[in-house]
Amino acid sequence: MSSSFLLLAIVDGLTILALGVFIVLAFDSLIFRHDLSTSRRAIRTICKIISDYKKENGNFYDLGCGRGKLVLIVKKEFPSLSVWAVDKNPLRIFFARLKSLFLRRKINFKRKNVFQLNFADLQNADVVYTYLWYDVMPKLEEKLKDSLKRGAIIITNTSNFLNWPAKETHITYPKNPDFEKLFVYINN
């Protein structure tokens, strides 16, 4: 077998694999709704918030982690932080786990609906991040107020809590201030 034939076979195989992954991810987004990925600017701001509040050694929870982009970067930036990634979607958890294994980052995964987490799951959280739809925020607001310890930080992306005043608001795109605005809450 010539080397050019082998190279073409490898390229064909990789093309088919990439197309398959694309189809699976497109199907996932259509069936399981949105998969909002946190931008790099927002991730940098989240890391700064973690540092500013001196939460580098605690427990970080990403509720609705998707394919794990945020948790992988947070774990890289804060190796002492225990990172928990929660999502109800098995495909998204699968890809996030795969990336964490490949990158050798210890992430704790939970395949659960955010509202199926019990008090024990969240009582040790120091930082909670979420980028979820507006319609789930009132229910999530109550769950977090009841579940989190005093002093825990909650960071929401774009959607905010209606009855809980934000301690800080961070605009990640000044030219478009409504895009990925981060709200920081402290549980008292």
CATH of 40-186, one of 2.60.40.10, 3.30.70.20, 3.40.50.150, 1.10.10.10: 3.40.50.150
Nearest to 128 by CA among 165, 147, 155: 155
| pLDDT surpasses 50 at 3 | yes
Using DSSP's 3-state secondary structure scheme, residue 23 falls into helix
Question: Per-domain residue ranges for the chain?
Answer: 1-31, 40-186
Q: Is the pTM of this model over 0.85?
A: no
* Cβ atoms of 170 and 181 closer than 8 Å: yes
Q: What are the b/e assignments for 138-170, b being 16+ CB within 10 Å?
A: eebbebbeebbeeebbbbbbbbbbeebebeeeb
pLDDT tens-digit series, residues 51-61: 999 999 999 99
pLDDT tens-digit series, residues 120-132: 788 999 999 999 8
What is the pairing mode between strands 153-157 and 82-87?
A: unpaired
Predicted local distance difference test score (pLDDT) of residue 35: 59
